[in-house]
Amino acid sequence: MTDPEIKRLALANFVREAPKKFDVGMLEHNPKGDKGLWRMNASQLIDAAIEETIDQFHYLTVLKEKLKNE
């Protein structure tokens, strides 16, 4: 794949998947509509982003190990 093809594929995947993922997150974390990202302060937003980064690190660690064993 060329870089422009990768860009188009990634963008199309994002446009298709991101709204669904956000909606699921709202239902899980803010079902009553009384919380939400806008109400989080800067420190809470940073902490949430760090938690997501830690999750990603673990996913990538497992993927790396699986690829080693193929």
pLDDT band at 68 (very low <50, low <70, confident <90, very high): very high
44, with CB counted inside 10 A (0-12, 13-18, 19+), is: exposed
pTM of the model: 0.76
pLDDT of residue 28: 94
Rounded to whole angstroms, the Cα distance separating 6 from 10 reads 6
Averaged pLDDT, 8-26: 97
pLDDT of residue 36: 92
Q: pLDDT, tens digit, for every residue of 19-67?
A: 999 999 999 999 999 999 999 999 999 999 999 999 999 999 999 999 9
